[in-house]
Amino acid sequence: MILEGFSELQELAVGTLAHVYRATELPLGRTVVLKCLKPTLLPDSAFAQPLERESRVLSALSHPNIEQLFRLIKTERTLALVLEYVDGRSLRKAQDDRQLVVPEVIAMGYEIAKGLVHVHAAGVVHADLKPSNVILGNEGMVKIIDFGIARASALGGLEALASRVAGPGFFGTPAYMSPEQLLSDEIDQRSDIYSLGVILYEALAGRLPIDRRDARDAGARKRIEPLERVAENVPLPLCRLVMRCLEPLPRDRFRSADPIVAELGDMLSEVDIRDPAGLLTAAARGSPPSVVQRKAGAKEANVWRRVLVIVGLFVLGFAGVALLDKNRGVPSPRALPMTPPSAGTLKVTAAPWAEVWIDGERVDVTPIGLPIQLASGVHEVTFRHPKASDERRKVEIRPGEIVTLSITMKSNLAPRESAR
């Protein structure tokens, strides 16, 4: 991709509607993030509206824990957001490297909650809070990113148009969604609080509160095992805070993120963490966790003594593993195999939209502008929508052949007809 005024573009991610790059902005020479509408989509089309919505949401936000929007670029052929670049990595990648220790989780949750206080005060609901949308900076800062599906009543017409284009629940990651977000389009700040609870539970327990196979089942949220049973040596007040965030009914959760900030702040004070940035630097860089000193003169607390012992043991264990793995490379994420020269082509469309999975691998979400190249042979194609039954098709691909699949998703939420 070529965009005037930028150089050294490096692709970071590909989303449903946009490509994300790291780039150097000229003539300033600063590193930025470019979120560009896919070239197969026109800037004046309805599919460009979510990117414009995101720019308007971010322009209303200004907080150290929220990514900063520098400007919006819109031409006849291009629509792009110029965003702040944070040198670090996502919470998802940090957790894949090692499990965070309790003080790190508290510090991370504290920073996320502070960001949510600001977001919600501006009348915005993030609606897609998850580990890959939380960046841990190498200098210890925490940033919430990707407001592409954020809900904001102040957007008026753009919000309504985007809903008609996308449909309820168009985007989002089911495992981190609140029950009400799975079931309807009507959510408020308590939905983000639920998502924060999922993030904290996963960070402390090393697993999600529900099985990924049940991620689309709103009823599964009623069967979450209490955190204190699955994560030993986590302070009971922290377990209770997380479980309150995960209450199935919004009315039973925290009504805002303010009390979460207060409670996590008190927990940091118990172990004398005045500046969470220093603690989070190790998590961001993949280093062994820092040993936390207990606050001088603080009330004796057996639970925190256990936390400190575990942190120390974790440091020793991590150092040992680092020595053993000194020459071992970090495994790369699983990816679809390279397409052989004898490939054929598959084109897919789905109404209103669907995730497309091929042979068990998630490929993209419709609309997909470019054809999908596949090896010769029989492939299973699955179309998924949170409010429709899965549609599965087997297709045979021959070298040089173009196969087209057009699917209409059938809602599984329609009322049943009464027997007569």
Task: Quote the CA–CA distance of 146 and 256 in Å, as a whole number.
Answer: 21
For residue 280 the two structure tokens come to 């989070």
The token pair at 83 is 């965003």
Task: State how beta strands 402-408 and 344-351 pair.
Answer: parallel
Query: What ranges in 206-257 are assigned the alpha helix state H?
Result: 227-230, 236-245
Cβ atoms of residues 210 and 223 within 8 Å:
yes
Cα dihedral across residues 82, 85, 89, 90: positive or negative: negative
Bridge partners of 383, per DSSP, are 356, 391
> Quick check: 375 and 384 in contact, CB under 8 A?
no
Active site (annotated) includes residue 211: no
Cβ(29)–Cβ(47) under 8 Å? no
Residue 68 carries which side chain, given as an amino acid letter?
A: Q
**Cβ neighbours of 403 (radius 10 Å):** 19
Residue 91 near residue 132 (C-beta atoms within 8 A): yes
Q: Given the residues 128, 188, 252, 266, select the one marked as catalytic.
A: 128
Please report, to the nearest 10 degrees, the dihedral formed by the alpha carbons of residues 60, 62, 66, 67 taken in order: 80
Q: For residue 220, give the amino acid letter.
A: A
Distance CA 342, CA 68 (A): 45
Helix, strand, coil shares of the chain, percent, nearest 5, are 35, 25, 40
Q: Which residues contact 140 (CB under 8 A, 6 or more apart)?
A: 275, 276, 277, 278, 279, 280, 281, 284
Catalytic residue set: 128
